[in-house]
Amino acid sequence: MNAQRALRLGTRRSPLAMSQSRGVAERLGRLTGRSVELVEITTYGDVSRESLATIGGTGVFVSALRDALLAGEIDFAVHSLKDLPTLQPEELALAAVPTRADPRDALVARDGLDFERLAVADGRARIGTGSPRRMAQLNAWSRALGCEIETVPIRGNVDTRIGYVRSGELDAVVLAAAGLYRIGREAEITEFLAPDIVLPAPGQGALAVECAVSNTALVAELAGLDDPHTRVAVTAERTLLATLEAGCSAPVGAYADLLPGEDGQTVTEMRLRGVVGTTDGSTLVQLSTTGPVPASVGEAAAIGRELAEEMLAKGAAGLMGERAH
């Protein structure tokens, strides 16, 4: 590759995707001295107004970027890892998984309310989300509080979703905290939803940097962006998702958190939690496992596979309305 030519980074056109990609470009520039130009690409998920569950979810924000990579139109691409299908194409390298941002979901509600006050006060609060995973867990939470809520399917970028609350059409929306931080809208958050109550999507808060396997020089450069702890954590989560044979729009949550040892500093253990549920929240299968931090992605994958198999044995398969193809 000509060292003088700017690297072409493919990105979706949404404000969030552009912000994520600019952050990666700046880090790569500091690490390597290479200049990077952003190439905006429209994906099917950006133009379709159907719900993610209807259009399949898996890969709808990714395919156009991958096509551009394989055609040589861009040199590398940045994705939200939770949007990435679990099956990695042989021609493409997942060259880096940078340090993960906040993995939690966040509530943006009217009048600064948290979920419990909103659910109890309204009796049937209307909460917007495009995610069956969130619907399942929010409905289960409201049932535990002795309340009912109405989960309303929504699409659109962050501003569009927050606009539903500002207009009074909805009482609240649930979004990824990481996305709100990345576009400077964290002040909108009225409550962070703890993973103890609402498990995030597998890979939520993490980014994926892809390039062609054949471009070995770039693979090596991008590796400087990789965070090993994030890599093993999301590998466990995504292997759980793959073993369940569920796509990224299925009602599956998974989170691997890395736990410090007695000194409070050194990470010594990894706890993986998984949940599958019906979207009405009436039935959830929730399991967890804790052990030493995996020494490799292979070990992390084995942990995710084992927990998923335990979940399947507990009836998880029957709770997923959407299966991968």
Give residue-wise pLDDT tens across range 142-159.
Answer: 999 999 899 999 988 899
The answer to whether residue 257 is catalytic is no
50 and 172 belong to one structural domain = no
Strands 36-40 and 126-128: unpaired
C-beta separation of 311 from 244 below 8 A: yes
300 and 248 belong to one structural domain = yes
Closest among 23, 45, 248 to 156, alpha carbons compared: 45
Please tell me the predicted confidence (pLDDT) of residue 322.
47
Asked if residue 228 has pLDDT above 70, the reply is: yes
116 and 245 belong to one structural domain = no
Span 263-312, pLDDT tens digits: 878 889 999 999 999 999 999 999 999 999 999 999 999 999 999 999 99
What is the domain count for the chain? 3
C-beta separation of 294 from 270 below 8 A: yes
Give the DSSP H/E element, type plus range, for residue 259. strand 252-260
Asked if residue 48 has pLDDT above 50, the reply is: no
Beta strands in the chain (DSSP E): 7-11, 36-40, 76-80, 92-96, 105-109, 126-128, 150-152, 172-176, 191-193, 207-212, 252-260, 267-277, 284-292
Q: Give the dihedral of Cα atoms 220, 27, 59, 14; nearest 10 deg.
A: -150
| 324 inside domain | no
93 and 210 belong to one structural domain = yes
Please tell me the predicted confidence (pLDDT) of residue 250.
77
| 156 inside domain | yes
The answer to whether residue 83 is catalytic is yes
The single residue listed with the structure tokens 């929010």 is 138
238 and 314 belong to one structural domain = yes
CA distance 107 to 173: 6
pLDDT band at residue 2, thresholds of 50, 70 and 90?
very low
Please tell me the predicted confidence (pLDDT) of residue 124.
86
CA distance 301 to 130: 28
Per annotation, catalytic residue among 143, 155, 271, 305: 155
Q: What is the mean pLDDT of the chain?
A: 90
12 and 142 belong to one structural domain = no
| 217 inside domain | yes
Please tell me the predicted confidence (pLDDT) of residue 321.
58
In sequence order, which residues have a C-beta less than 8 Å from that of residue 163 and are 6 or more positions away?
A: none
By residue count, the chain amounts to 325
129 and 259 belong to one structural domain = no
CATH number, residue 38: 3.40.190.10
Count Cα neighbours of 73 within 13 Å in the Cβ-side half-sphere: 12
Neighbours of 109 (CB within 10 A): 22
List Cα–Cα distances, 18 to 138, 155, 222, 255, in angstroms.
30, 18, 18, 26
The answer to whether residue 134 is catalytic is yes
28 and 51 belong to one structural domain = yes
| 75 inside domain | yes
171 and 239 belong to one structural domain = no
CA distance 205 to 100: 6
Point out the least confidently predicted range of 80-94, 135-149, 202-216, 309-323.
309-323
Please tell me the predicted confidence (pLDDT) of residue 176.
97
| 325 inside domain | no
Percent of the chain with pLDDT over 70: 90
Per annotation, catalytic residue among 12, 34, 161, 185: 161
86 and 53 belong to one structural domain = yes
pTM, entire model: 0.90
The first and second tokens of residue 45, run together, are 């998920």
Which of helix, strand or coil describes residue 316? helix
Burial class (CB in 10 A: 0-12, 13-18, 19+), 12: buried
| 1 inside domain | no
* Distance from chain centroid for Cα 160: 19
| 135 inside domain | yes
Average the pLDDT over 57-72 and give the result.
Answer: 83
23 and 93 belong to one structural domain = yes
DSSP 8-class letter at 294: P
Asked if residue 4 has pLDDT above 70, the reply is: no
Per annotation, catalytic residue among 34, 75, 83, 100: 83
The answer to whether residue 100 is catalytic is no
* Distance from chain centroid for Cα 202: 6
The answer to whether residue 196 is catalytic is no
| 300 inside domain | yes
CATH number, residue 300: 3.30.160.40
Domain that includes residue 292, residue range: 233-319
Per annotation, catalytic residue among 66, 75, 238, 248: 248
Please tell me the predicted confidence (pLDDT) of residue 152.
96
Per annotation, catalytic residue among 34, 82, 126, 182: 82
Asked if residue 60 has pLDDT above 70, the reply is: no
Give the DSSP H/E element, type plus range, for residue 39. strand 36-40
215 and 75 belong to one structural domain = yes
Per annotation, catalytic residue among 34, 126, 134, 238: 134
Per annotation, catalytic residue among 12, 133, 182, 238: 133
Span 184-193, pLDDT tens digits: 999 999 999 9
